[in-house]
Chains A and B, each alone.
Chain A
Amino acid sequence: MLNVSDLACSRGERRLFANVGFSLAPGEWLHVQGENGAGKTSLMRLLVGLSPADAGTILWRNEPTPSAEFRRDMIYLGHHAAVKEDLTPLENLRLAAALDGIELDEHASMAALIRLGLRGREELPVRVLSAGQKRRVLLARLLTRPAVLWVLDEAFNALDVSAVKLLGELIGEHLAVGGMAVLTSHQPLPVPGGKALML
């Protein structure tokens, strides 16, 4: 489904990585590892199509990315909070879905927020939530946006023990139904199996 070959990336004069290749089939996930500054985030941004690669190809369902189909099948959660501080978690979730062209009813959004442990916080402005809770609001999008490929950059940052476990479960469930995931993290991930890519 996802085939990446000979990917190269440089920042200015410095070559970050070259000849990076991997492939993922339904139910598989990839753990991208490397030191600080090794280019993990750059690889993720190349992969989702936010920045162009120096060389190499990325194929999704045998089509070069970024295609419209890839955008529909993929969800990327990066370092940024990507939530609006002035809106409530509920509004954030529903408006993010609406921008993606998905009509999300209140029931489904509430179910996602409750799963992420935000019961009772859904009507508060995100501004007053803690860093970990903001992160949970963002992660709720994994449940409301149907996507095959999850690209999560440092998704486990700022999360407490129970949230790390929960995200591990979510990824496990996603893989069990034929989903795929690409993750970066410095800590061992609570998801069994998986390929590893060292940058």
Chain B
Amino acid sequence: MNSFLATVRRDLLLAMRRKSEVLTAVFFFVIVTSLFPLGIGPEPALLRKIAPGILWVAALLATLLGLPRLFAADHVDGTLEQMALSPSPLGLLVAGKILAHWLLCGLPLVLLAPVLGVQFDLDASALGILMLALLLGTPLLSLIGAIGAALTLGVRGGGVLLALLVLPLYIPALIFGAGAVEAHIAGLGAGGHLSLLAAMLALAVFFAPWATTAALRVALE
């Protein structure tokens, strides 16, 4: 468990030394979500309708932006090799890296979403559901993305391949995440959608680090 926390601490420290890499994903999210109200114009009914989808797609793409860096630097400088040979289980270290990735690329999106949601004329309760859906959904995006990042590690043009590989897998999260907010706005209650999102997250927490570890071992061969 100590090595898990050490990995989180290490990756956060590295990110603090290189803030620009973290901030690009967050700024991307802010700018993309702000472009839509500007382009579409002030029609509150239309904006309310498209808000959940736009915010979720933007969150998805912002997460994707940070994914190639998840293992690439450690792979190039050889620290990933050291992790694979460490007495600590690689799965634990990988889980730590995924958590650090979410803290840097996912959590800021959750915290920014209500501010950006105001541009789409969402009311307070809808913003709350949006935050909750993103809180359950963004870790899921990081976990699934880590599998893709590990599978495309060291592949030339891996970034594009990663998008092609991971984006289809993000569809369930997108449907239920955006669906939760839409259902709430329509007065149907978001409980079902959020439960499904939580179930997917629980499944991914269990399987994704394991699958990522297996893919990394292949990449290191």
Chain A positions within 8 Å of B, measured between CB atoms, are 48-52, 68, 71-72, 74, 76, 78-87, 91, 95-96, 98-101, 103, 125
Residue among B6, B13, B82, B221 making CB contact with A82, cutoff 8 Å: B82
Main secondary structure of the interface of B (DSSP, over half): helix
Main secondary structure of the interface of A (DSSP, over half): loop
User: Roughly how many angstroms separate A91 CA and B17 CA in the complex, as a whole number?
Assistant: 12
Asked if A91 and B86 make an inter-chain contact with CB atoms under 8 angstroms apart, the answer reads: no
Asked if A80 and B81 make an inter-chain contact with CB atoms under 8 angstroms apart, the answer reads: yes
Beyond A50-B220, A96-B82: 4 further Cβ-contacts under 8 Å?
A50-B85, A82-B82, A98-B2, A101-B86
Closest A-B pairs by Cβ, 4 of them: A80-B78, A98-B6, A86-B17, A82-B78
CB distance from B86 to the nearest CB of A (A): 5
CB distance from B20 to the nearest CB of A (A): 12
Asked if B13 and A101 make an inter-chain contact with CB atoms under 8 angstroms apart, the answer reads: no
Contacts of B221 in A (CB 8 A): 50-52
Whether, in the assembled complex, B165 has its beta carbon less than 8 Å from a beta carbon of chain A, the answer is no
Residue among B7, B14, B85 making CB contact with A86, cutoff 8 Å: B14
Whether, in the assembled complex, B156 has its beta carbon less than 8 Å from a beta carbon of chain A, the answer is no
Asked if B81 and A99 make an inter-chain contact with CB atoms under 8 angstroms apart, the answer reads: no
Q: B interface, how many residues as a size bin?
A: 20 to 34
Contacts of B10 in A (CB 8 A): 84, 95, 98-99
Asked if A76 and B3 make an inter-chain contact with CB atoms under 8 angstroms apart, the answer reads: no
Nearest B residue (CB) for A125 = B17
Counted as pairs of residues, one from A and one from B, with CB atoms less than 8 Å apart, the total is 78
Nearest B residue (CB) for A85 = B77
Whether, in the assembled complex, B84 has its beta carbon less than 8 Å from a beta carbon of chain A, the answer is yes
Chain B positions within 8 Å of A, measured between CB atoms, are 2-3, 6-7, 9-10, 13-14, 17-18, 77-79, 81-88, 93, 220-221
Nearest A residue (CB) for B82 = A82
User: Roughly how many angstroms separate A125 CA and B2 CA in the complex, as a whole number?
Assistant: 25
Asked if A78 and B14 make an inter-chain contact with CB atoms under 8 angstroms apart, the answer reads: no
Whether A91 touches B78, Cβ cut-off 8 Å, given contacts A50-B220, A98-B2, is no
User: Roughly how many angstroms separate A82 CA and B77 CA in the complex, as a whole number?
Assistant: 5
A-B contact pairs, 28 of them (CB 8 A): A50-B84, A71-B85, A71-B87, A76-B82, A80-B77, A80-B79, A81-B78, A82-B77, A82-B81, A83-B77, A84-B10, A84-B79, A86-B14, A87-B13, A95-B10, A95-B13, A96-B82, A98-B6, A98-B9, A99-B3, A99-B7, A99-B10, A99-B82, A100-B3, A100-B86, A101-B2, A101-B3, A125-B17
Contacts of A98 in B (CB 8 A): 2-3, 6, 9-10
User: Roughly how many angstroms separate A89 CA and B62 CA in the complex, as a whole number?
Assistant: 33
CB distance from B221 to the nearest CB of A (A): 4
Question: Which of B7, B10, B13, B14 has the most chain A CB atoms inside 10 A of its CB?
Answer: B10
Whether A84 touches B77, Cβ cut-off 8 Å, given contacts A51-B221, A98-B2, A99-B6, is yes
User: Roughly how many angstroms separate A80 CA and B83 CA in the complex, as a whole number?
Assistant: 13
